[in-house]
Structure 1
Amino acid sequence: MRRFEKASDVIVLEFSAFSSARGLYIAKALSRARLSASLLTTRSVYIKRGVLKQDGIIRYLSTRCSQKLYSRLIGRLMYYVLFTLEATLRLFKYRPAVVYARNVFAALAAVAYKVLAPSTRVVLEISDLWPEAIAYLDAPPIFKSMLVKIGQLVNSGVYKHVDSLVAHNGVLASFIERRARRRVRVLLGAVDLSKFRVMSVEEAEKGSGIVKRGFTILYAGLLGPFQNPLVIVEAARRLRGSGVVFMVVGTGPYRRVMERVAREEGLDLVLVDPQPHDRMPYIYNLADVCLMTYAETRFLSMGLPKKVVEYSACGKPILCVSPPCVASLLCEEWGAGIRVDPSDVEGFVKVILKLKCDERLRTRMGLNARRMAEALFSPRRILEVVVKSVKRE
C-alpha cells in the first residue's frame, strides 16, 4: 500500500474525553496497510488516571484535564487551546506526511504545522455541529452568541485550509457541504468486530467483573444535558419492583443527581464509573437491551454516537429514546431497535416491558443489529475513505 505521495507516515490526532476508540481503529487500519500510522491523543478526562490504554501505536500528549474544570464551558475551551498548542509542537517533532484531525482543534494544530510543511495532507473529520451546540449550554446568552460566532469563523477558516473533509454520516456531510461549499466524504462509525461481538453472560461477567442481575437495560456514555439521562431515572421510578435493572456506565454533570435519587428512592439503577475501552465489550454483553438517549434538540438529528455502533456490534437490541436522528433511523431501517420520543416516558416504559416479555423479538433485533454493524461499521472502509481523502483533488 504506497499510494501516499510522501513518506507513509500518518498521525491520527484527537482530543479524547473517554478512552480512544474510533481514532485507534483508524490508526490500526492504516497500520495494517503497511503505513507507519500512530494515534496522538490526550489522556482520558473521565477514565481514572492510573488506567492508560497500552498500545504500541498510541502516543499521549501531556495535557491533563480536571473533570471539574472540563465540565465548565470556559474550562473546556481552555483545555482545547492547550491541546491545540501542544499538538502543534508534537507535529513539528514527528513530521508526519498526513494528519487525520478528529476535530476542529486538532485541525488547527495540523494547519499550523502545514504552514511550514506545505506538502503535508490534512484531513478533518467532523462528528457534530460545533460550535452550534454551545447555544444549548447553560451560560449567559451574550457569551454563548459570541462564542458561536467565533467558532463559525474558526470553522470557515479551517475548512478552507484542510485538504479534505470527512463526516460521520450522510446527513451531516450534506449539511457541511452546503456550509463549506466543497465535497465531504462519509465515514460511518468503525468498530473492531472481532472484539465487539456476541458473548455469553458467563464470559461477559468474567471479563467485566460485574454480576448481571435482573433484566438489564444498559446505557453507556456521557451524562450531560444533550444526552437527557434523567429520563432513565423517570423510567426506573415507574419500573421499580418489576425486575428491570438500569445499568449506567459513565459520568457527567447529571451523575450525582442520578446517584442521589437512586439511593434515596431505592431505584434499581446502578451507576458504574467509566471503564477502559477494552472492557466495554464485556459490559455491553451484560445487557438485555442497550439504550441511547437524546434531548429534544434539533441539531442532534445528525447524531450517530459511538455507543450505537458498539451496541450493534455486540448484537444488542437498541432502544432510542430520542427525536428522529441518524442513529434511530438506522436502527429502524435495519430492524435493530425501536425509537420513542424523549417526552414519552410511558411509551419508554411500555417498550421496555414489551421487550422483557418477548425474547424472540429481542433475538431478532439483536441479529439485525449485528448484521447492521457488519455491513456499515467494518474497519475495512476506513482505508478506502482515508486514501481517497488524502489524494490531491
Structure 2
Amino acid sequence: MNRRVLVPLCPDVAAPVRTWPRAALLLGAVLTLGVLLGFAGPAAADAGPTVGIAAAPAKQGQPDGRSRFSLLVQPGQKVGDELLVLNAGSTDQRLHVYATDAFDTADGAFALLDGSATPAGAGTWVRFDAGARDTVLTLAAGAQALVPFTVTVPATATPGDHAAGVVVSVASSAGQVTVDRRLATRLYVRVRGTVQPSLTVRSVTAAQPVGGDPFSAPTTITAVVANTGDVALTARATANLRTWFGRPVGTAGSRDVAELLPGATRTLTFDVGRVARAGYLEPQLTLVPVADADAYGFALPPVVGRGTSVAVPWLLLGVALAASAGLGVVVLRRRRAAVLEATPGSAGVAEPQEAARETAAVKPTPTPQTAAGGRS
C-alpha cells in the first residue's frame, strides 16, 4: 500500500540575494537526498534523480533580497506580489503553489496548516491566476518560473498582523512511500489602524525536586507568556528568584523569546541553579516586548509577572514529623503509666465506702411500738 509522507522544509530558506546562490541549490539537493534515504530504505541508496525546490520573493523575475513577504495595507486594499520558484532537482517536477494560515507551535516555531486543512484567516486573502486559490506548474530540471499573486484585504479586517505562508509543494514517490515536500515563504499582512500590542505573563512558578540535598536543590522557573494583542512580537526575557522579605536567591539571566503571533501562547523554562530550600520562593519574569521596526516605530514598556511557590524541605520536614511522632508516643506512654500508678490508691478509698453501703443494707429497720391498752 502506498503511504504519503509530508516533509515540511524550513520557511524562509530563500537566500536574500539577487541571483540563485549555488550553496542554496546544493543544500536543497542534500536535503532531498537525506529525505529519500530516511524514508525509502536501502533502495534509495542507488544513484537516481534528485528532487528539490527553492522559492523567494521576487520583482521583475529576480529575487529582490527579501526573505519574506511583509505587506502594509489598508482594510479593503488589494496588492500584488511575486514568488520566484526554482526546480532545484535533476528531473522534471510538478509544483503545487498555494497559500494557507500560519500559527506558532508550542516550541515557538512558525508553522502552517496542513495541506488538507482549510484556512480561515489571511491564507484566504491570496489569489493566483484568474482568482484561483492555487496554481500548478511543471518545471524542467534547473528551470524557474515567476508566480504572481494578489492579496485582497477584507474591508472588515482588524488592524494588526495577520500571518500566512505561500507554499510550494512537490510530491514524489520513494518505493512504497509518496513524499510530499513543502517549502513555505512567510507572508505578513499588516493592516493599518490603531493597534494594541500586548504581551501578558499568565503565570510564573518555581519548582525544586523532592529528593536529594535537604538544604538546597536545583531550581527551575516556568512561565506562560501570551500575545494578547494584535501585533507579532518578540521579547527579551529575564527571570530571577526571591525568598522571604524579598531577598534575592538566584537569577537565570536573560534570553531572547522567538516571535509570538497574535493569540499565541508560549511556555518558557529557566534554570536558576541550586537554591536553598527556604520554604517560600517568589519567581519573577520581566519581558521587554519588541515589534518589527520596519512596520512599527514604537517602543513598548516592560511587562513583569510574579508568582509564589512553596519550596518545602521535605527531608527535614519528614525528620521533624518523625521526631514529633516519637515524642507523642513517649508522652502517651508516660500518661498511661501515671494512670496505672494512681489506680491502687483510688481502690483503697472506694472499699470503705462500699463496706458502709453493705452495712447500711443489713441494718434492721426499727418497728413502731404499740402502746398497751391504748391511751390513758
Q: TM-score range by the shorter chain?
A: under 0.3
Larger fraction in helix: 1
- Give the alignment's TM-score, normalised by structure 2: 0.24
Structure with max Cα Rg:
2
- Give the alignment's TM-score, normalised by structure 1: 0.24
